[in-house]
């Protein structure tokens, strides 16, 4: 297959995945309304109108169709063999949780099981080696799975992050010469882009756990694949989700320090506090993506072009994001609701 033909096939698959995600999100929204899956305003939510949840099922189904149909045979073997089984299981867990909230223990057991399967599969095919690498990868995937879920509390936040991360990864995999992984990343971005018209601005549906857990696990796994295959340096992989990692990790740490039940639903993330103080959902989402585009991506570009500077840039970025989170947190304060 020539380069032009391959590029044409890729573009068709990407466009079809975006369109299918948009269409299936509409069906998922109608189902959620009929099934009574509605989030109502409350002290643990940042919205003011009853809104159906579970629309992320549309983007999950679009990725499944892309995997077995639209882009069959064109994606990395690691995606089909190692990542998809766990990602689908995680999505089903989220779908169940959207219908009937599950206990923390059961959620963790399932997440641990699918993460261990992923890492065992990765070791068997050779893109993950060493006990310490496995432990670090396990912690990272578990945290990414839950982090994405925690950060899905504002209209457009999770969807826009998915578009950004997929596009950035596609570029990085092209730079590394891994065309199949670049297509996979682009398909993930397309699935998120198809979901966004339903959620950006005045949301008609929320992603729900079915979508956010799938994306967290999926992107975490793709980042582990990228570092294990040598396509991504570790500092680049950590920087890519740096904005989400900073807010999610520092919020969790602050809740632990204050003696709160860190695993309970809350509105203490910085983006949620900004909304509570009058910022619109759209303004907050734009701010977070502006940081990605104006800070994170240039840092990644420097790390890719000048590998010797990768870790200094990553550490400097982490310090900058941490300081920014601290100063903004002092400005907006801690909301009265906690627990």
pLDDT category at 92 given cuts 50, 70, 90 is very high
Among 167, 139, 187, smallest CA distance to 292 is for 167
Residue 1 placed within a domain: no
When comparing pLDDT for 195 and 335, which is higher? 195
Number of other CB atoms surrounding residue 332 within 10 Å: 16
Q: What is the pLDDT of residue 221?
A: 95
Mean pLDDT of the 115-139 span: 85
Q: What is the pLDDT of residue 101?
A: 87
Mean pLDDT of the 17-39 span: 93
Residue 337 placed within a domain: no
Mean pLDDT of the 264-275 span: 84
Q: What is the pLDDT of residues 44-66, one digit of tens each?
A: 555 567 889 999 999 999 999 99
Residue 227 placed within a domain: yes
Q: What is the pLDDT of residues 208-231, one digit of tens each?
A: 999 999 999 999 999 999 998 899
pLDDT at 330 over 50: yes
Q: How many CA atoms within 13 Å lie on the side-chain side of 176?
A: 23
- 3 state SS for the chain: CCHHHHHHHHHHHHHHHHHHHHHHHHHHHHHHHHHCCEECCCCCCCCCCCEECCCHHHHHHHHHHHHHHHCCCCCCHHHHHHHHHHHHHHHHHHHHHHHCCCCHHHHHHHHHHHHHHHHHHHHHHCCCCCHHHHHHHHHHHHHHHHHHHHCCCCCCHHHHHHHHHHHHHHHHHHHCCCHHHHHHHHHHHHHHHHHHHHHCCCCCCCCHHHHHHHHHHHHHHHHHHHHHHCCCCHHHHHHHCHHHHHHHHHHHHHHHHCCCCCCCCCCCCHHHHHHHCCCCHHHHHHHHHHHHHHHHHHHHHHHHHCHHHHHHHHHHHHHHHHHHHHHHHHHHCCCCCCC
Mean pLDDT of the 304-321 span: 97
Q: What is the pLDDT of residues 22-31, one digit of tens each?
A: 999 999 999 9
Instruction: Indicate the number of domains in the chain.
Output: 1
pLDDT at 120 over 60: yes
Q: Between the ranges 26-35, 48-57, 122-131, 259-268, where is the mean pLDDT highest? A: 26-35
Residue 338 placed within a domain: no
Q: What is the pLDDT of residue 333?
A: 79
pLDDT at 300 over 70: yes
Among 292, 254, 257, smallest CA distance to 273 is for 254
Q: Which domain holds residue 34?
A: 7-332
Q: What is the pLDDT of residue 260?
A: 78
Residue 339 placed within a domain: no
Residue 316 placed within a domain: yes
Question: Are 16 and 70 a contacting pair, CB within 8 Å?
Answer: yes
Question: Are 117 and 86 a contacting pair, CB within 8 Å?
Answer: yes
Residue 93 placed within a domain: yes
Q: What is the pLDDT of residue 152?
A: 87
Place of tokens 């807010």: 247
pLDDT category at 90 given cuts 50, 70, 90 is very high
Q: What is the pLDDT of residue 48?
A: 61
Q: What is the pLDDT of residues 3-14, one digit of tens each?
A: 676 677 889 999
Q: What is the pLDDT of residues 141-188, one digit of tens each?
A: 999 999 999 898 889 999 999 999 999 999 999 999 999 999 999 999
Number of other CB atoms surrounding residue 331 within 10 Å: 11
Q: Which residues pair with 39 in a beta bridge?
A: 51
Residue 120 placed within a domain: yes
Residue 195, Cβ density class (10 Å: 0-12 exposed, 13-18 middle, ≥19 buried): buried
Q: What is the pLDDT of residue 338?
A: 46
pLDDT at 336 over 60: no
């Amino acid at each position: 297959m020539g380069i032009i033909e391959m590029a044409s096939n890729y573009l068709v698959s990407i466009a079809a995945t975006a369109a299918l995600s948009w269409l299936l999100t509409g069906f998922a929204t109608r189902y959620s309304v009929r099934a009574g899956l509605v989030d109502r305003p409350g002290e643990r939510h940042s919205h003011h109108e009853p809104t159906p949840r579970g629309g992320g099922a549309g983007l999950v189904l679009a990725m499944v169709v892309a995997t077995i149909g639209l882009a069959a045979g064109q994606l990395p073997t690691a995606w089909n063999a190692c990542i998809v089984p766990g990602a689908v299981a995680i999505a089903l867990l989220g779908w169940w949780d959207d219908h009937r909230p599950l206990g923390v223990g059961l959620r963790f057991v399932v997440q641990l099981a699918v993460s261990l399967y992923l890492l065992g599969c990765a070791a068997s095919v050779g893109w993950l080696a060493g006990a310490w690498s496995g432990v670090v990868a396990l912690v990272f995937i578990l945290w990414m799975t839950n982090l994405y879920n925690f950060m899905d509390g504002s209209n457009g936040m999770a969807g826009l992050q998915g578009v950004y991360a997929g596009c950035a990864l596609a570029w990085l995999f092209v730079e590394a010469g891994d065309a199949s992984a670049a297509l996979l990343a682009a398909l993930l971005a397309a699935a998120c882009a198809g979901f966004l018209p339903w959620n950006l601005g005045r949301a008609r549906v929320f992603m729900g756990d079915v979508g956010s857990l799938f994306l967290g696990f999926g992107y975490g796994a793709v980042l582990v694949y990228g570092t294990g295959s040598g396509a991504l340096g570790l500092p680049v992989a950590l920087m890519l989700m740096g904005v989400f990692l900073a807010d999610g990790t520092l919020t969790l740490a602050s809740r632990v320090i204050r003696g709160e039940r860190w695993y309970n639903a809350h509105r203490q993330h910085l983006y949620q506090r900004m909304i509570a103080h009058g910022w619109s959902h759209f303004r907050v989402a734009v701010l977070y993506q502006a940081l990605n585009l104006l800070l994170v991506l240039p840092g990644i570009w420097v790390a890719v072009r000048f590998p010797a500077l990768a870790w200094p840039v990553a550490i400097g970025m982490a310090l900058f994001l941490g300081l920014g989170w601290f100063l903004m947190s002092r400005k907006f304060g801690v909301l009265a609701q906690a627990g």
